[in-house]
């Protein structure tokens, strides 16, 4: 029963979602939205589980003085701080337990939660994202090292695309006559992106879609059960 009930739900809900994709009439047209709402409700409850896990794992590491335990402490304190300021004075239009914190707003220019979000969380998040620029450079360097015919081809294509997207590339081949305009770097770059690149991406997307159909069918029919924890 413990295993059969989830399998039945997976079968029933999976079939319902497929059917509602093709039938616009009620009640089928409302099924996907309703199931998504249910998912949101269950997710809402599951958040508590996540917070418990967060506290447990962090407290254990702090207690055991694991390497970098102070980071876990900083993480926990930040969590508690944001939780408290949000509870006390609310966020944006919504008030908290102590109202809107007018005097605090006068000093900070906004609510404490919004202030921390704007001036602590956002810069940290942007910093993390900006690391991408450096990682792209190091990854590109490795990818373009000439080792084989394929890596030669990759480097050549990359150089054309990079130059084609810059004003320098445009200037380099700007003198080409109209009859050989195709070889103008921006045009060549557009061609690579529009045709060979799109074709390869679509091939991946089509094969992934077929994989999704197969995977979903295995789950709906109960052949694939390991996501439930066991294949028995």
Q: Using the rule CB under 8 A, which residue among 15, 77, 97, 205 binds other proteins? A: 205
Looking up tokens 């390869």, which residue turns up?
A: 200
Distance of closest approach, residue 232 Cβ to other proteins, in angstroms: 8
CA distance 112 to 118: 10
DSSP 226: G
CA distance 170 to 213: 44
Helix/strand/coil percentages in the chain, nearest 5: 80, 0, 20
List all residues 6 or more positions away from 53 whose beta carbon is below 8 Å from its beta carbon.
none
Is there binding between residue 26 and other proteins (CB under 8 A)? yes
CA distance 46 to 51: 9
Distance of closest approach, residue 112 Cβ to other proteins, in angstroms: 19
Is there binding between residue 213 and other proteins (CB under 8 A)? yes
CA distance 221 to 224: 8
CA distance 67 to 29: 53
Q: Using the rule CB under 8 A, which residue among 15, 120, 153, 208 binds other proteins? A: 208
Site string for other proteins, 51-70 (x = CB under 8 A): x-xx-xx--x------xx--
Beta-bridged to residue 96, according to DSSP, are 99
Distance of closest approach, residue 228 Cβ to other proteins, in angstroms: 7
Is there binding between residue 229 and other proteins (CB under 8 A)? yes
- What is the size of the binding site for other proteins (CB under 8 A)? 63
Instruction: Please report, as residue ranges, which positions from 68 to 97 form the binding site for other proteins (by CB under 8 A).
Output: 68, 71
Is there binding between residue 148 and other proteins (CB under 8 A)? no
Q: Which residues bind other proteins (CB under 8 A)?
A: 18, 21-26, 29, 36, 39, 42-43, 46-51, 53-54, 56-57, 60, 67-68, 71, 124-125, 128-129, 131-132, 135-136, 138-140, 142-143, 201, 204-208, 210-219, 223-224, 226-231
């Amino acid at each position: 029963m413990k295993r059969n009930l989830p399998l039945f739900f997976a079968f029933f809900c999976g079939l319902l979602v497929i059917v509602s994709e093709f039938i616009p009439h009620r009640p089928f047209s409302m099924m996907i939205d309703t199931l998504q709402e249910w998912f949101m409700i269950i997710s809402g409850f599951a958040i508590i589980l996540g917070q418990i896990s967060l506290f447990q794992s962090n407290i254990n590491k702090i207690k055991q003085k694991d390497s970098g335990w102070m980071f876990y402490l900083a993480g926990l304190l930040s969590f508690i701080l944001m939780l408290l300021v949000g509870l006390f004075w609310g966020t944006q239009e919504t008030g908290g337990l102590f109202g809107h914190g007018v005097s605090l707003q006068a000093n900070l220019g906004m609510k404490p939660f919004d202030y921390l979000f704007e001036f602590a969380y956002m810069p940290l998040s942007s910093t993390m994202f900006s690391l991408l620029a450096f990682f792209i450079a190091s990854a590109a360097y490795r990818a373009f090292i000439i080792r084989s015919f394929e890596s030669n081809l990759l480097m050549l294509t990359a150089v054309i695309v990079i130059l084609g997207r810059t004003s320098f590339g445009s200037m380099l081949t700007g003198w080409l006559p109209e009859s050989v305009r195709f070889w103008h770097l921006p045009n060549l770059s557009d061609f690579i992106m529009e045709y060979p690149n799109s074709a390869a991406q679509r091939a991946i997307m089509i094969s992934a879609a077929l994989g999704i159909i197969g995977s979903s069918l295995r789950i709906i029919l109960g052949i694939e059960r390991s996501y439930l924890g066991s294949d028995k």
